[in-house]
């Protein structure tokens, strides 16, 4: 008994030692920074920028000054997510249901590879294509002059779909891959049209993948900085761009902190609401199956 | 359906191919193309700023990957034995590190580190023994980028390795200790080989994330630069064929890594299948 207790004791020492570095990292580089941002957001701006201790909600009251960044983010992030879904679903369906077993590993790898390469460089490529000598020059040959693509919401949306498509394809593919193909045969045998089979069998079965994919893309888009910075050219900007401006250019730390806190709060609310509705949708569908 | 898939693949690879193609441009401007010369690669590798940024980025990615993999794996192993509030707190922190946008992590880390350094540096200078010369000054740079990258990637490693541990065959570990193997031996002969693929993919994911990250490094790199920061500021100054050459090099680094990972995994699979 005494021996067992002793070994329990040494086991928990080992456990504590194993967790020590991670705990330190979390405390110093996650908890501390988030607390500092929260405290700063209640402070005042110092005379030379930076932070002056105070306890005021003035920074939060000032948030409407950056309303445009918030409305841009809250329209383009959901829109970008939906566009990603629309473009990704047919490809995921092709990979999961139609593609031959021989070609599939290669086709899958080809979807994953871009995601492993630099996001910055993949976004930068579109400067060429959408810039003055790219597609607009091509359109000018057909008599369509003065088409501006770069630095528009369209360019930002192209960048979003291009950058996040792989992230959307993968979870949907995984859920379609698990789909029992005999269900589709059964549905056809019972006289359902292909469209009806799709709507009543395939689509509901792939719902978990859709929910995961949309969640991943939406979360990343809420904090997006690079795509609007490169393809939006200062005309189409997200909250991320406002944050860079506030922290690095105008050095207004307290207001920047308030914007950052607001962004995280809005994001968490949106994600919670989304998951709530997604799970309610699934429960309802379970009932209809019974 | 096939046609649609083909169009999407062209959409995914066209822009990348364009960059590589234009990096072999013999002309002086990015937009007029004449084939073919590798001179821009010479220019890129002869550029001391770009080389410094490249070496910094590789160093940061390597340190991040090693730290994140070791610490994340340690934590994932320990967490199997932790229950209750402590476990909940740990899981909460892990997911917070993943879900908070990189840009918020970046600015929060910047502000916190600057505040801490401003407080610590005078103390350090005062406490430093005079016979050791000038006291070191804590400052933003390569070290802080590694620290910030490690936070996020460590959380990813914890999630990846823990999933693998859950699928692991427990009876082998019990058998090993029943046969009186010391815990260390059980770890190296039973546990590690089983979780190794997850540890390896955690390492590669951490390396790639760190090597490609712009946003976090942009805030906490101080006066040091990394390759993405260098590329970003060059794009701001205007598009040149030299950036295309650098971009192609970056793509080559990522792709090589991916192929190495694939080769390692398929070799393991062949080794295991009999």
DSSP secondary structure letters along B41-110: HHHHHH-HHHHHHHHHHHHHHHHHHHHHHHHHHHHHHHHTT--HHHHHHHHHHHHHHHHS-HHHHHHHHH
**C-beta separation of B69 from A14 below 8 A:** no
Whole-angstrom distance, CA of residue B162 vs CA of residue B78: 10
Residue A82 CA: distances (Å) to CA of A157, A165, A215, A217 = 11, 11, 11, 10
Whole-angstrom distance, CA of residue A8 vs CA of residue B19: 59
Whether B30 shows a pLDDT value over 60: the answer reads: no
**C-beta separation of B101 from A260 below 8 A:** no
**Cβ-Cβ contacts under 8 Å, A15 against chain B:** 78, 81-82
Which residues, other chains included, contact B164 with Cβ-Cβ below 8 Å and sequence gap of 6+? B194, B195, B197, B198
Bridge partners of A52, per DSSP, are A44
* Within-domain flag for B39: no
**Cβ-Cβ contacts under 8 Å, A230 against chain B:** 235
Q: Which of residues 30-89 of B touch A (CB under 8 A)?
A: 30-31, 71-72, 74-75, 77-79, 81-82
Helix, strand, coil percentages, rounded to 5, for chain B: 80, 0, 20
What is the CB neighbour count within 10 angstroms for residue A33? 25
pLDDT of residue A290: 34
* Within-domain flag for B239: yes
* Within-domain flag for B131: yes
What is the CB neighbour count within 10 angstroms for residue B83? 9
| A62: three-class secondary structure by DSSP | coil
Whole-angstrom distance, CA of residue B107 vs CA of residue A37: 9
**C-beta separation of A225 from A5 below 8 A:** no
**What CATH number is given to the structural domain containing B191?**
1.10.3720.10
Whether B198 shows a pLDDT value over 90: the answer reads: no
Tell me which of A173 and B252 has the higher pLDDT: A173
* Within-domain flag for B266: yes
Domains in chain A, start-ordered, CATH in brackets? Answer: 2-40 (no CATH), 65-289 (1.10.3720.10)
Q: Contact A247/B219, CB-based, under 8 Å? A: yes
- Residue B40: pLDDT band with limits 50, 70, 90: confident
User: How many structural domains is chain B composed of?
Assistant: 1
* Within-domain flag for B38: no
Residue reference for tokens 């330190």: A24
pLDDT of residue A66: 92
Whole-angstrom distance, CA of residue A21 vs CA of residue A15: 11
Q: Is ipTM over 0.95?
A: no
CA-based max dimension of chain A:
90
pLDDT of residue B193: 87
What is the CB neighbour count within 10 angstroms for residue A92? 25
pLDDT of residue B25: 77
A186: closest CA of chain B, how far (Å): 22
pLDDT of residue A54: 86
Residue A225 CA: distances (Å) to CA of A122, A220, A222 = 14, 10, 9
Closest by CA position to B147, among listed A37, A18, A25, A20: A25
Range of the domain at B83: 51-272
Spans of chain A below 70 pLDDT: 1-8, 281-290
Whole-angstrom distance, CA of residue B261 vs CA of residue B240: 32
pLDDT of residue A3: 44
Bridge partners of A45, per DSSP, are A51
DSSP for B241-255, written as a single string: HHHHHHHHHHHHHHH
Helix A104-116 vs helix B241-272: crossing angle, to nearest 10: 130
Segment B75-127, tens digit of pLDDT: 999 998 888 899 999 999 999 999 899 999 999 999 999 999 999 988 888 88
Tell me the range of B100-104, B195-199, B254-258 where mean pLDDT is highest: B100-104
* Helix locations, A198-238, DSSP H: 203-205, 207-222, 226-231
* Within-domain flag for B5: no
Q: Name the token pair of B156.
A: 């990813």
Which of A214-223, A255-264, B33-42, B44-53 shows the lowest mean pLDDT across its residues? B33-42
- Residue B265: pLDDT band with limits 50, 70, 90: low
Q: Name the token pair of B222.
A: 């101080």
Whole-angstrom distance, CA of residue B254 vs CA of residue B250: 6
* Within-domain flag for B61: yes
**Cβ-Cβ contacts under 8 Å, B18 against chain A:** 125, 128-129
Closest by CA position to B69, among listed B145, B152, B153, B143: B153
* Within-domain flag for B4: no
pLDDT of residue A104: 87
Residue B110 CA: distances (Å) to CA of A50, A177, A247, B107 = 12, 43, 9, 5
Phi, psi of B30 (to 5 degrees): -65, -30
Q: Name the token pair of B184.
A: 């260390």
**C-beta separation of B185 from B249 below 8 A:** no
Whole-angstrom distance, CA of residue B18 vs CA of residue B23: 9
- Residue B66: pLDDT band with limits 50, 70, 90: very high
**Cβ-Cβ contacts under 8 Å, B116 against chain A:** 32
Q: Contact B214/A25, CB-based, under 8 Å? A: no
Segment B141-176, tens digit of pLDDT: 999 999 999 999 999 999 999 988 888 877 888 888
Query: Which residue on chain A is closest to B262 by alpha carbon?
Result: A109
Whole-angstrom distance, CA of residue B31 vs CA of residue B29: 5
Count how many pairs of residues, chain A against chain B, have C-beta atoms within 8 Å: 199
**C-beta separation of B145 from B59 below 8 A:** no
């Amino acid at each position: 008994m005494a021996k067992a207790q002793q070994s329990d004791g040494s086991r928990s020492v080992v456990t504590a030692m194993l967790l020590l570095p991670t705990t330190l990292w979390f405390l110093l580089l996650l908890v501390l920074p988030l607390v500092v941002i929260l405290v700063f957001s209640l402070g005042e701006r110092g005379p030379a920028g930076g932070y002056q201790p105070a306890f005021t909600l003035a920074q939060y009251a000032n948030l409407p000054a950056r309303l445009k960044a918030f409305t841009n983010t809250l329209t383009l992030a959901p829109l970008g997510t939906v566009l990603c879904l629309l473009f990704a679903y047919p490809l995921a369906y092709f990979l999961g249901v139609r593609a031959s077993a021989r070609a599939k590993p290669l086709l899958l790898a080809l979807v994953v590879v871009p995601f492993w390469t630099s996001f910055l460089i993949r976004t930068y490529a579109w400067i060429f294509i959408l810039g003055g000598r790219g597609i607009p020059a091509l359109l000018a040959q057909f008599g369509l002059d003065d088409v501006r693509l770069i630095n528009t919401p369209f360019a930002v949306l192209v960048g979003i779909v291009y950058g996040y498509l792989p992230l959307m394809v993968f979870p949907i593919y995984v859920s379609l891959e698990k789909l029992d193909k005999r269900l589709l045969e059964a549905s056809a045998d019972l006289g359902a049209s292909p469209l009806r089979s799709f709507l009543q069998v395939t689509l509901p079965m792939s719902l978990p993948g859709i929910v995961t994919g949309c969640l991943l893309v939406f979360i990343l888009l809420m904090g997006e900085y690079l795509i609007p910075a490169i393809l939006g050219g200062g005309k189409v900007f997200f909250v991320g761009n406002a944050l860079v401006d506030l922290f690095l250019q105008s050095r207004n730390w307290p207001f920047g902190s308030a914007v950052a806190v607001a962004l995280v709060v809005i994001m968490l609310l949106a994600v919670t609401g989304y998951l709530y509705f997604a799970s309610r949708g699934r429960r309802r569908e379970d009932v209809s199956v019974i | 359906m096939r046609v649609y898939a083909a169009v999407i693949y062209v959409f995914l690879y066209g822009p990348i191919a364009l960059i590589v193609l234009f990096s072999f441009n013999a002309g002086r401007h990015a937009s007029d193309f004449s084939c073919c010369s590798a001179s821009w690669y010479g220019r890129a590798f002869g550029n001391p700023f770009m080389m410094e940024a490249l070496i910094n980025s590789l160093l940061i990615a390597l340190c991040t990957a090693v730290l994140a993999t070791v610490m994340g794996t340690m934590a994932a192993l320990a967490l199997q034995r932790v229950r209750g509030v402590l476990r909940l707190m740990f899981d909460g922190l892990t997911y917070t590190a993943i879900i908070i946008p990189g840009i918020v992590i970046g600015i929060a880390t910047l502000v916190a580190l600057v505040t801490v350094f401003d407080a610590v540096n005078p103390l350090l200078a005062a406490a430093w023994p005079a016979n050791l010369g000038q006291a070191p000054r804590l400052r933003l740079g390569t070290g802080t980028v590694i620290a910030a990258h490690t936070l996020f990637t460590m959380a990813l490693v914890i999630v990846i390795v823990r999933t693998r541990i859950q699928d692991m065959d427990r009876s082998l570990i019990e058998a090993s200790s029943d046969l009186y193997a010391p815990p260390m031996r059980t770890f190296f002969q039973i546990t590690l080989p089983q979780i190794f693929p997850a540890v390896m993919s955690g390492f590669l994911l951490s390396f790639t994330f760190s090597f490609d990250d712009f946003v976090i490094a942009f805030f906490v790199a101080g006066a040091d630069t990394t390759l993405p920061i260098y590329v970003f500021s060059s794009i701001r100054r205007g598009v040149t064929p030299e950036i295309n050459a650098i971009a192609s090099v970056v793509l080559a680094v990522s792709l090589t890594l991916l192929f190495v990972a694939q080769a390692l995994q398929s070799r393991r699979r062949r080794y295991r299948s009999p």
